[in-house]
């Protein structure tokens, strides 16, 4: 058991709410629209230092002047998150921080209903999913991705000006090349680690001899940092016309492959759900291997999307983790 209790105030629809967690599995039951996901969101915020779905302005209850989250660990440590309408802060022990310190972040496996539709989702949605998972595994990845996205935003804003010179773009090109390749390297390593286990884990869930693979597909050929920089420079005129950056790791994609064929449009509902369960189990394994800590598992209303066999598989594979589940029914 990792989390002992959680209390929230003015957090979305909750004026005040408290949860005393159980040793292994805590179940939060309620009808749709009653704020179950918001409770998991508050827990995630205190564990990871950010929401998985919105900014502070959206989280703050309408008409309220602040929101507050208190998370008490079984160790006695407490993390308090507050937002006063202007800025968010974290109180850990007797120290206040603008961001949750790396040493105070706890790993999480988050499972949302939308994750079960990842195979058929858009390329952007897949990138967002794997970016979130990678950030759980590696804080350096999150830092590199953040710097890349900031540079991309700045470059795109310059491209929308009536006139822009290559000199104005150069510093942002350098940052995109540097951090873009760090992002790409981490993504490729993660997919390689996943594929090393994916078929084996998938077969234990689906009970078939099928092969499941994820391909990380580059936009264009593999390039060095200098080649990446040169490509950005070469495409300046085109980017100015389009008003955005056309080349980069923000265009790389992921493809699910079953038995040598693209899964999108051909995989069955059961196959899709089995591969997503396999990914979640592998994610938990990788977190334990890299951090030495078993992640807290947050399951947001996913049981209603799974048949009985896969429900039991989910429970069995996370039996050593502390799990918090939201559901419209008792499970």
Instruction: Please tell me if the domain spanning 3-106 has the same topology as the one spanning 118-293.
Output: no
Best CA proximity match to 190, nearest among 290, 275, 262:
290
- Give every CB contact of residue 99 below 8 A, 6+ residues apart in sequence: 49, 90
Q: What is the pTM of this model?
A: 0.91
Domain positions in the chain are 3-106, 118-293
Per-residue pLDDT of the chain (331 residues; tens, 9 = 90+): 899 999 999 999 999 999 999 988 999 998 888 999 999 999 999 999 999 999 999 999 999 999 999 999 999 999 999 999 999 999 999 999 999 999 999 999 999 999 999 999 999 999 999 999 998 888 899 999 999 999 999 999 999 998 999 899 999 999 999 999 999 999 999 999 999 999 999 999 998 999 999 999 999 889 999 999 999 999 999 999 999 999 999 999 999 999 999 998 888 889 999 999 999 999 999 999 999 999 999 999 998 889 999 999 999 999 999 999 999 887 6
- Residues 118-293: name the CATH superfamily: RecF/RecN/SMC, N-terminal domain (1.20.1050.90)
Q: What is the DSSP string of 222-263?
A: ---HHHHHHHHHHTHHHHHHHTS--SSGGG-EEEEEETTEE-
Output the CATH code of domain 3-106: 3.40.50.300
């Amino acid at each position: 058991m990792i989390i002992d209790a959680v209390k929230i105030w003015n957090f979305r629809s909750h004026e005040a709410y408290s949860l005393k967690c159980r040793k292994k599995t805590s179940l939060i039951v309620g009808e749709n629209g009653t704020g179950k996901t918001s409770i998991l969101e508050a827990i995630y915020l205190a564990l990871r230092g950010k929401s998985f779905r919105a900014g502070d302005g959206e989280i703050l209850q309408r008409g309220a002047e602040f929101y507050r989250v208190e998370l008490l660990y079984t160790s006695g440590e407490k993390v308090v998150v507050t937002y006063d309408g202007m800025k968010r802060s974290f109180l850990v022990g007797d120290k206040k921080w603008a961001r949750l310190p790396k040493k105070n972040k706890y790993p999480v496996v988050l499972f949302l209903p939308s994750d079960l539709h990842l195979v058929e989702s858009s390329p952007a949605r897949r990138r967002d999913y794997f970016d979130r998972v990678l950030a759980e595994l590696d804080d350096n990845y999150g830092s590199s991705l953040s710097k890349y996205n900031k540079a991309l935003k700045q470059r795109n804003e310059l491209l929308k000006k009536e006139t822009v010179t290559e000199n104005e773009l150069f510093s942002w090109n350098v940052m995109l090349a540097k951090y873009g390749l760090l992002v790409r390297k981490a993504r490729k390593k993660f997919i390689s680690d996943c594929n090393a286990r994916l078929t084996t884990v998938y077969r234990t869930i689906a009970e078939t001899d099928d092969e499941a693979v994820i391909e990380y597909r580059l936009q264009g050929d593999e390039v060095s940092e200098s080649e990446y920089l040169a490509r950005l420079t070469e495409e300046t005129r085109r980017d100015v016309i389009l008003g955005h950056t056309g080349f980069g790791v923000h265009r790389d994609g992921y493809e699910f492959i079953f038995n040598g064929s693209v899964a999108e449009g051909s995989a069955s509902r059961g196959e899709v759900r089995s591969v997503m369960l396999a990914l979640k189990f592998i994610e938990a394994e990788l977190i334990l291997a890299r951090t030495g800590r078993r992640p807290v598992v947050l399951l947001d209303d996913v049981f209603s999307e799974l048949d009985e066999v896969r429900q039991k598989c989910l429970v069995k594979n996370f039996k050593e983790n502390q799990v918090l589940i939201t559901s419209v029914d008792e499970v």
